[in-house]
Amino acid sequence: MTPHTPATTSTAPATPPPASPAKPSRPRPRWWRRPWMAPLAVVAAAFLAFSLPPYLSMDPAQSRVPAPDFFPPHFVMLSLHVVFGSVAMITCCLQIWPWFRRRHPRAHRMIGRVYVFGGCLPSGLLGLVVGVATPFGPITMVSDVLLALLWLSCTLTGWRMARQRRFVDHRRWMVRSFALTMSIITNRLWGVVLVILLSPQLNTTFHGDEALLVSTVAALGAWLGWVLPLLLAEWWLERGDVAKRRRARAAR
C-alpha cells in the first residue's frame, strides 16, 4: 500500500495587484478666472458710491430715509450704520476671494477682524436701533430687527468657529454673513422693481395714499432683500455638501 504523500505548498510571495493610477488633482483656477469676483467688486463699489455720500455730508436733508419725529438721533445713528456697513462690504469682498485667502492667510485673518469688529458688529448694533425706529411701519421694523440679529449671530458664530480652528464651520457661517452683508444691495433693487410694479396701482389698490404705497414697497423690499439671498446661500452650501459626499463615495 503506497503511503499518501502530502501536497507541497509554495512559499513564493503572492504578486501584489497592480496599483491603480492616482487621479490627477484638479488645478485651482487662477484668480482672474473667478467670473464672479470682478462683477461683485464693481457692483459693491457702484452701490457705495451712490449710497455713502449723503451720509458723509452729515446733512439730514440728504438722508434717503426720513427721520421719525420721536427719535432725533436717527440720522446720526443711520449715518454711522451706513459707514460701518460700508467697511463690512469692502472687507467682505476680499474675505470671500479664494486666491487672496490662500496666498495671504495673515492678511485674511487681519481683514477678517476688521470685517467683524470694524464693520458688522457696530453696524449691526446700530441697525437694531435704526430698525426699531424705522418710519416705514411695523412690518419693515420686524424685518430690519430680525436682519440685524441674524447678521450679528452669523458673523460672531463664524468668528468663534475660526477661533476654535473649526474652519469648515467657519466658512459656512461666513457665507451666511456675506449674504446678509450684501443683502442691502438686493433690498434697493427690489425697491426699484416694486415701485415700478405698484405705482400704477396708486389710485386703485392704495386709494391714492402715497404713504401706504411707500410703506408697502419698503416692507416687501425689506423682507425680499435678505430672505432670498440667505436662502440662496443655504442652497449653495447644501449643493457643495452633496457634491463632496458624491466624490467621497466615488473614491471608495
pLDDT digits over 5-46, tens only? 444 444 444 555 555 444 445 555 554 455 667 788 888 999
pLDDT value at 1 more than 80: no
What pLDDT score was predicted for residue 5? 47
Cα–Cα distance measured from residue 179 to residue 131, given in angstroms and rounded to the nearest whole number: 19
Average pLDDT, the chain: 86
What pLDDT score was predicted for residue 152? 98
Residue with cell 503572492: 14
Q: What is the torsional sign of CA 213, 215, 220, 221?
A: positive
Question: What would you measure as the largest C-alpha separation in the chain, in angstroms?
Answer: 121
pLDDT value at 2 more than 50: no
Cα–Cα distance measured from residue 122 to residue 119, given in angstroms and rounded to the nearest whole number: 6
pLDDT value at 240 more than 80: no
Q: What is the mean pLDDT of residues 118-143?
A: 96
pLDDT value at 69 more than 90: no
Cα–Cα distance measured from residue 241 to residue 159, given in angstroms and rounded to the nearest whole number: 21
Structure confidence by residue, pLDDT tens digits, 158-202 = 999 999 999 999 999 999 999 999 999 999 999 999 999 999 999
pLDDT cut 70: percent of the chain above it: 81
What pLDDT score was predicted for residue 22? 47
What pLDDT score was predicted for residue 248? 63
pLDDT value at 137 more than 50: yes
Residue 246 confidence class, pLDDT cut points 50, 70, 90: low
DSSP string, 34-62: -TTHHHHHHHHHHHHHHHSHHHHTT-GGG
Cα–Cα distance measured from residue 36 to residue 160, given in angstroms and rounded to the nearest whole number: 28
More confident residue, 77 or 16: 77
Determine the Cα angle at 107 with ends 106 and 110, to 5°. Answer: 90
